[in-house]
Amino acid sequence: MDTTDFLQFVFNLSYSILFFNFLIYFSFYFMLFLEWSPAKETHRQFPLIILFLFQD
């Protein structure tokens, strides 16, 4: 395995993780925009849960 191939693999992996994170955020906030519920405690804590999951 070449060094440039390995770097390309790492960059692709990090970009896919970033894109997946952005996709989760976008879908979650779209759902939040669709439902105007007064109880927003879980909505405030949900992105913190996502950040905690993606922290490694």
Which pLDDT does position 19 carry in this prediction?
87
pLDDT digits (tens, 9 = 90+) for 21-44: 888 888 887 777 766 555 555 555
Q: Which residue has the higher pLDDT, 38 or 13?
A: 13
Q: What angle do the packed helices 3-34 and 41-53 form, to 10 degrees?
A: 170
So where are the chain's domains? 3-53
Which pLDDT does position 49 carry in this prediction?
63
Which pLDDT does position 26 carry in this prediction?
84
Claim: this prediction has a pTM higher than 0.85? no
